[in-house]
Amino acid sequence: MDKQTISRDGTPIAYERSGHGPAVILVSGAMSTGATVAPLAGALSDRCTVLAYDRRGRGASGDTAPYEVAREIEDLAALIEAAGGEAALYGVSSGGALALRAAASGLPVRQVAVYEVPFAMDDADARARAEYTEGLTAALADGRRGDAVELFLSLTGLAPQLIQGARRSPMWSEMEAIAPTLAYDDEVMGDGRVPRALLASVGCPVLALAGGASAQWMRQSAQAIAEAVPDGTYRALTDQNHMVEPAVLAPVLAEFLAG
């Protein structure tokens, strides 16, 4: 990250800026940094001015306790100012929930696009989220970062043998380093259900995306978002899953952002 802006509470937020055209800020999800969305930034940069940033507590950005979702919205306010005073937001997974909350807060957001925000679509899923929150809170309070990461990977549906393989990989230490931010994403997601009242206050166009090859509940979540906002559109990307290919996603985003 070669640039930095200062959030309202004094926290430095690191970002990279590339391309030309309408400004869009890329908001990464849990266990991700600005580097995670860098390939998408590259794919969009011929049609958009793209800001990819490290959310607080990750990468080159700072962090300030105690955490509140409002502080992350202030981070986006600082980035929007750095982008020229207005920007679109693209958020992936729980980063999409943050982008929607930022738009609902009244920031100068032109458009919002989100990809597979993992809202619970039934009572069983909501109970699983509540159990995850309880286990995550306990693990982080005890300093068991590895257990916190394992809980998150289990929540995503990763098989136990693959989780144990991940524990032995060189990337595990990097995942443990940002494990405390899992609590941030958990708070951004609220009770895990679609926040319909909040979404009803989003005053800009919203594009809710999901992968055509993803689980049905992911597509249902995207459809629910599109239905809950005043100006929403739902679209499924053929043959894509949660790890969407930037080459497939970028043209869809560019078309929406140019509108």
At 210 the three-state DSSP class reads strand
The span from the CA of 24 to the CA of 86, in Å, is 9
pLDDT tens-digit profile of 25-47? 999 999 999 999 999 999 999 99
Report the chain's mean pLDDT, rounded to a whole number.
Answer: 96
Please answer whether residues 250 and 43 qualify as being in contact, where contact means their C-beta atoms are separated by less than 8 angstroms: yes
Q: How far is CA 206 from CA 42, 110, 115, 218, 259, in A?
A: 22, 10, 11, 17, 12
Specify the pLDDT at position 49: 97
pLDDT tens-digit profile of 72-107? 999 999 999 999 999 999 999 999 999 999 999 999
pTM of the model: 0.97
Percentage of the chain exceeding pLDDT 90: 97
DSSP string over 17-68: EEESSSEEEEE--TT--GGGGHHHHHHHTTTSEEEEEPPTTSTT----SSP-
Specify the pLDDT at position 259: 65
Over range 40-64, report the average pLDDT. Answer: 97
pLDDT band, residue 2 (cuts 50/70/90): confident
pLDDT at 117 over 70: yes
pLDDT at 1 over 90: no
pLDDT band, residue 201 (cuts 50/70/90): very high
